[in-house]
Structure 1
């Protein structure tokens, strides 16, 4: 669907629904690519739902004195205010000729008025699937390798999944690096290729940085962060890992009364992993966790286009996370 979207004229308004950030970003990227295939100079504007002011969209979609198209991407559209939702739904009924509006929404009840309104207004809707099962992640790995013109043996796909974990961004980056590192004559990537070329990279992933930060090991986390960036790990993967680590701590905090198998069941993770997070949580209080989560949210915004130095944004987030432990 995304390839077809990029090859055709994009709809004036597109709503992308889904929780998988990587797939959502790819859907947004397909719309942007389709616009720039028509107008390479199209100007892109990135907005965050909760920060969009009434009238802001009208300003961005108004015809420019210098001509040219504009692309407005509104992320986390579920956080838009009621006034802005009304404005956007009204706009979708009569969109501007030289503007393309793309909104992302995770699904669910929050912001449902926007979703329903845009559908009724005739906006294009792209729904991306949520990948939850191990088999689906293996299929994702195979599809990523196939996109690069190669194939991967089943045991190699499993080895890659075991090495990297469940995060789709990490898996996509690992697949790309694996294809780059493996000689072109290896049409089918094997488990030996995974062991030979990927094991070292997996050792310093975004999750390694996130774990060190959550444990307050500032010097170690910063060193790992700099090495990870230097070896080509995309900043979005690292900020995603930081967010996942803190979300997991928050989930454990919400299940404080559960113990042992009950805790593991409530969190949907193996007992040993639930205990690890329970032990890690002892150094965290509600205020500190809230501060750390906000720092990662700020870094996420900076990394995705609002800032000019992703490395600085990530270092700042890591320092705040480490300093926020024991915050009560």
Structure 2
């Protein structure tokens, strides 16, 4: 397997802080050392599983071992990477490098100086701490002949959209744009659930995936999603917005991501407002959005002005603080926010 490290690099730009190849988590390749870094566990798990499948396809006799860097038994790394009697290839998956013990750190640094032939060692570091930085720096400097698979946090709407689109593209499965938007909106607060939903549709649906298919599978989730509440409120449909909000809360939705979704849409509207007739593609590239997000924000801005948008954003900031503990009644805070946005007027208890 040592020769695997010399394959052509995958698509993607190299990090300025790293001298080694940066590989996509969707297209990992084995090397003596594979550093899987970053906080997104879904992507990290996919990358590690793909490496196992890759190596097992090359040699079914692959031996797979798991080590914990934070609960490390001295000598374990050398033991599981050393050649066996029959010389089977070895895959060693090491978790918890961000909280590794001193014993693991010392042995891993020593291992980089002389990796075992036929062994692939995967180091999983979530970037949650700086623990193990000396090891990461050595790997990134090229010691041990490694590669890095960054698994960056998927936070923005556009990132989640790209993630879901990539799931269907990798499976060579067609999904309608409206269906993809509905699916992402339904699972906007949980990437693990979004990934599982994508895989279920890929496995279950024989043909193209339409908006009707998504509605059939996840209709209840879509109807009570945070973005449905936001969309109806921003459109000025006060009654529908309150009904959507109450359905969402009744189905177990957490007030915090509900407010976050509403605030996200308002911020996007504020960023797009005042852009004049700048083409959607150019504005999207400048703002780090998708074309459809710009088009949607422009439609949402109908009937809004600088004063009402500013008032709504302030109301969202207040609600955000209240649902995170500043108020004893997060449901009332949400209802007040929906009222302000839907009516585009200051909250009035008598008018609610």
TM-score computed with the length of structure 1 as normaliser: 0.58
- For residues 235-290 of structure 1, give each alpha carbon's deviation from its aligned partner in whole angstroms, at most 9, with x where no partner exists: xxxxxxxxxx9xx9xxxxxxxxxxxx99x869xx946753699779xxxxxxxxxx
How far apart in 2 are the matches of 1:275 and 1:158? 31
Pair 1:116-2:152 in alignment: no
2:25/2:43 contact within 8 Å kept: no
Structure with the larger helix share? 1
Q: Using a 3 Å threshold, how does the CA distance of structure 1 residues 161 and 82 change in structure 2: closer, same or farther?
A: same
Q: Using a 3 Å threshold, how does the CA distance of structure 1 residues 64 and 201 change in structure 2: closer, same or farther?
A: farther
**Structure 1 stretches lacking a partner, 5+ long:** 204-244, 249-260, 281-328
Pair 1:130-2:180 in alignment: no
Residue 171 of structure 1: aligned partner? 194
1:181/1:197 contact within 8 Å kept: no
Residue 144 of structure 1: aligned partner? 167
Residue 4 of structure 1: how far off its partner (Å): 4.7
Q: Using a 3 Å threshold, how does the CA distance of structure 1 residues 82 and 277 change in structure 2: closer, same or farther?
A: farther
1:142/1:151 contact within 8 Å kept: no
Residue 72 of structure 1: aligned partner? 92
**Structure 2 stretches lacking a partner, 5+ long:** 1-23, 224-253, 258-312, 331-352
Residue 33 of structure 1: aligned partner? 53
TM-score computed with the length of structure 2 as normaliser: 0.54
Q: Using a 3 Å threshold, how does the CA distance of structure 1 residues 202 and 77 change in structure 2: closer, same or farther?
A: farther
Residue 208 of structure 1: aligned partner? none
- Larger mean Cα displacement after TM superposition, 25-34 or 126-135: 25-34
Residue 138 of structure 1: how far off its partner (Å): 1.3
Q: How many residues are paired up?
A: 216
Structure 1 residues 280-319: aligned runs within 5 Å: none
1:48/1:75 contact within 8 Å kept: yes
Residue 114 of structure 1: how far off its partner (Å): 1.5
Pair 1:182-2:205 in alignment: yes
Residue 95 of structure 1: how far off its partner (Å): 0.7
2:215/2:222 contact within 8 Å kept: no
Structure 1 residues 150-299: aligned runs within 5 Å: 150-184=173-207, 187=208, 189-199=209-219, 270=320, 274=324
Residue 24 of structure 1: how far off its partner (Å): 0.8
Match of 2:126 among 93, 106, 111: 106
1:35/1:42 contact within 8 Å kept: yes
**What do you get for the CA RMSD once the two structures are aligned?**
3.2
How far apart in 2 are the matches of 1:70 and 1:110? 26
Query: Which protein has the larger Cα radius of gyration, Structure 1 or Structure 2?
Result: 2
Q: Secondary structure at the match of 1:44?
A: strand
Pair 1:20-2:40 in alignment: yes
Residue 52 of structure 1: aligned partner? 72
2:90/2:118 contact within 8 Å kept: yes
Q: Using a 3 Å threshold, how does the CA distance of structure 1 residues 4 and 24 change in structure 2: closer, same or farther?
A: closer
Q: Secondary structure at the match of 1:16?
A: strand
Residue 324 of structure 1: aligned partner? none
Q: Using a 3 Å threshold, how does the CA distance of structure 1 residues 17 and 41 change in structure 2: closer, same or farther?
A: same
